[in-house]
Chain A
């Protein structure tokens, strides 16, 4: 049963991240996910110090505030100060992360907040934190649903609802922001809607799977799907399927080599991208050579 919960946790995170990742990749903002996942660290510690508890809600709020603050600072540096986008991202998140590290080394001894856990996560412990029990009888008997499954399911429903509801504004502000602004759609508003959702997703996800796997899931499946299709709706669905496949294969890889589950899942994400890079029918390296050979 543990295996099922772990794979389901991975799949839920992968699906939310893959959907949002499509927009990040298309907006050429993939590294913003990385930045957010690190920049939330001081938010978590500040929230802990202010609230004096380790319960999730204040920590979550603290983290989300710093996630949005991070995207705001990046936006400010690029738009107003005319800084290169990658330089702005690098400067902002290392600064915020460093503050988090100072807070962590100064106060972590009281807090029992572990930096390793935040960065690498421990998906294997997900099944032990049971939130609800459900007696379904039969062969399975009492189902012990972990807390993380509840939270991550709600998150995925939220992300799907957002994309379903705001498909058109997200599509147009991603493809052609100038035209969107010309017909009266606020590009800034949708930028922060998207970035706020990415912050929330990152924070909710890395509690169970760690920041590195979150970044892998944000970028990898979307970048892979981009190589396989030329329609956005198909890209969104493919990215989700690739994310889920990575979670399943990653779990079995981890069992097989007896290593880190999050590490194995992230490795599979990279592996699947490599496969698409070579074998994609339209954009793959082999496909291109084959067509060239056919032409000559």
Chain B
């Protein structure tokens, strides 16, 4: 079940990534339309992070390629922003929250110019959007996990991009941060941004996203959530993992009834 769209903003062709002679991502081929909030869902080790790293050119590709706005990444880098996993950096680094957010402005100012007042203002506005303005000058080691994640998001916002690729922004954060991030993602979508998010939790996934990429090393499905977030496809994605399967059944039931009510006012 792969729904292809006309004029996609993200186009992935036959993408294969092999680590240590073992495929991490196998022949993924799909398209994503503009202005969607896309969830990348699948079991552990399904190649979810690998997929967005491959799109960002951060891992060597064994075959295939990705296009953004119909062009190779190098031509449109300014319009694409990436949020790495929070654990991928050393948070004991001697930098403040604002220093990290300012990195999102490096490309705009030029790599060898001093940071301008305008950059500082934009960075501060982005901290405000994630409700972290009070922590601008705090050293990043003194922030909680959720606050660190919000700093990463603010950095991505500071890039003022049109496509955002986020690697597990909901991993290991508190409920306040989760709802703050979700509000922000909805707001970004309403501004026409396209956002792809690697996500672990199936229960919240249906609520957060309107488009899904179901992945289990190979691409199982890609399309609007009503068509793709179905029992059959989720079972296929998660294979024989019983505890997950039971949960999927419940989810489908919960999610199906309200949808039917909405759709049948005339009958």
Q: Of B20, B56, B93, B159, which contacts A175 at CB under 8 A?
A: B93
B124 interface residue per 8 A CB criterion: no
Q: Which of B84, B93, B112, B141 contacts A178 (CB 8 A)?
A: B84
Distance in Å: Cβ of A291 to nearest Cβ of chain B: 13
Interface readout for B87-127 with A: 1 if CB under 8 Å, 0 if not?
A: 01110011110011001001100011001000000000000
Closest to A234 in B: B94
Q: A26 CA to B107 CA in the complex, in Å?
A: 23
Flag if A179 contacts B82 (CB, 8 Å).
yes
| Cβ-based interface call for B58 (8 A) | yes
Known: A168-B112, A169-B111, A172-B103. A182 touches B93 (CB 8 A): no
How far is B90's CA from A166's CA once the two chains are assembled, in angstroms?
21
Contacts of B247 in A (CB 8 A): none
The answer on a CB contact under 8 Å between A178 and B111 is no
Instruction: Specify the chain A residue showing the minimal Cβ separation from B52.
Output: A182
Report the contact-size class of chain A (Cβ under 8 Å from the partner): 20 to 34
State in angstroms the CA–CA spacing of A123 and B84 once bound together.
47
Interface residues of B in 13-68 (CB under 8 A from A): 20, 53, 56-58
Known: A169-B111, A183-B159. A178 touches B94 (CB 8 A): no
Which residue of B has the minimal Cβ distance to A82?
B20
| B89 close to A183 (CB less than 8 A) | no
A-B contact count (CB 8 A): 76
Per the bound structure, the CA–CA distance linking A125 and B100 in Å amounts to 46
Interface residues of chain A: helix, strand, loop or mixed (majority): helix
With A168-B111, A230-B139, A232-B94 as known contacts, state yes or no: A175 contacts B77, CB within 8 Å: no
Q: How many of B's residues come within 8 Å of A, CB to CB?
A: 30
Contacting residues, chain A, for B95 (C-beta < 8 A)? 171, 175, 230-232
* A182/B112 contact (C-beta < 8 A), A229-B94, A230-B139, A231-B96 known: no
Complex contact A181–B106 (CB within 8 A): no
Does the CB pair B106–A230 fall under 8 Å?
no
Bound complex: CA of A139 vs CA of B96, how far in Å?
50
Q: Which residues of B contact A141 (CB under 8 A)?
A: none
Contacts of A26 in B (CB 8 A): 90, 93-94
A165 within 8 A of B: yes
In the complex formed, the residue of A with least CB distance to B55 is: A182
- Complex interface: chain A residues within 8 A of B139 (CB): 230-231
Q: Taking the complex as formed, is B74 at the interface, i.e. its CB lies under 8 A from any CB of chain A?
A: yes
Q: A176-B103, A230-B141 are in contact. Are A181 and B94 (CB under 8 A)?
A: no
The A159-212 residues at the B interface (CB cut-off 8 A) are 165-166, 168-169, 171-172, 174-176, 178-179, 181-185
What residues of B have a CB within 8 angstroms of the CB of A63 in the complex? Answer: none
Is there an interface contact between B106 and A235, defined as CB atoms closer than 8 Å?
no
Are B103 and A179 in contact (CB-based, < 8 A)? yes
Tell me the complex Cα distance, A82–B19, Å.
11
Contacting pair A231 B56 (CB below 8 A): no
For window 226-240 of A, CB contacts with B under 8 Å fall at: 226, 229-232, 234-235
In the complex, the answer to whether A182 meets B58 with C-beta atoms within 8 Å is yes
Contact: B94 with A231, CB < 8 Å?
yes
A26 to B81, CA, bound (A): 25
A41 to B234, CA, bound (A): 61
| CB–CB A182/B56 < 8 A | yes
Contacts of A181 in B (CB 8 A): 56-58
Report yes or no: A175 in contact with B88, Cβ–Cβ below 8 A: no
State whether A165 touches B94 (Cβ < 8 A): no
Q: Which residue of B lies closest to A236 (CB)?
A: B94
- Chain A residue at minimal CB-CB distance from B80: A182
Contact check, B106 vs A168: say whether CB atoms are below 8 A apart: yes
User: What's the Cα separation between A215 and B89 when bound, in Å?
Assistant: 26
A183 lies within 8 A of B57 (CB): no
A166-B112, A182-B58, A183-B107 given as contacts; is B84 within 8 A of A176 (CB)? yes
Contact flag A178-B103 (CB < 8 Å), given A166-B112, A183-B77: no
Q: How far is the CB of A232 from chain B (nearest CB, A)?
A: 5
Knowing A183-B107, A184-B77, the reply to whether A176 touches B89 (Cβ < 8 A) is yes
Distance of A46 Cα from B88 Cα, bound (Å): 42
The listed residue with most A CB atoms (<10 A of its CB), out of B20, B74, B95, is: B95
A171 to B84, CA, bound (A): 17
Closest to B159 in A: A183
Contact B77 A178 (CB under 8 A): no
Q: Which A residues are CB-close (under 8 A) to B20?
A: 82
Residues of B close to A171: CB separation below 8 A: 95, 99, 103
Query: C-beta contact mask, A225-260 vs B, less than 8 Å → 1, else 0?
Result: 010011110110000000000000000000000000
Of all chain A residues, the one with the shortest Cβ separation from B167 is A178
With A178-B53, A230-B139 given, name 6 new contacts (CB 8 A).
A168-B115, A172-B106, A176-B89, A176-B103, A182-B84, A235-B94
Which residues on A are within 8 Å of B, measured CB to CB? 26, 28, 82, 165-166, 168-169, 171-172, 174-176, 178-179, 181-185, 226, 229-232, 234-235
Q: List 15 A-B contacts (CB under 8 A).
A: A26-B90, A26-B94, A28-B90, A168-B106, A168-B112, A179-B103, A183-B107, A184-B74, A226-B94, A230-B139, A231-B94, A231-B96, A232-B93, A232-B99, A234-B94
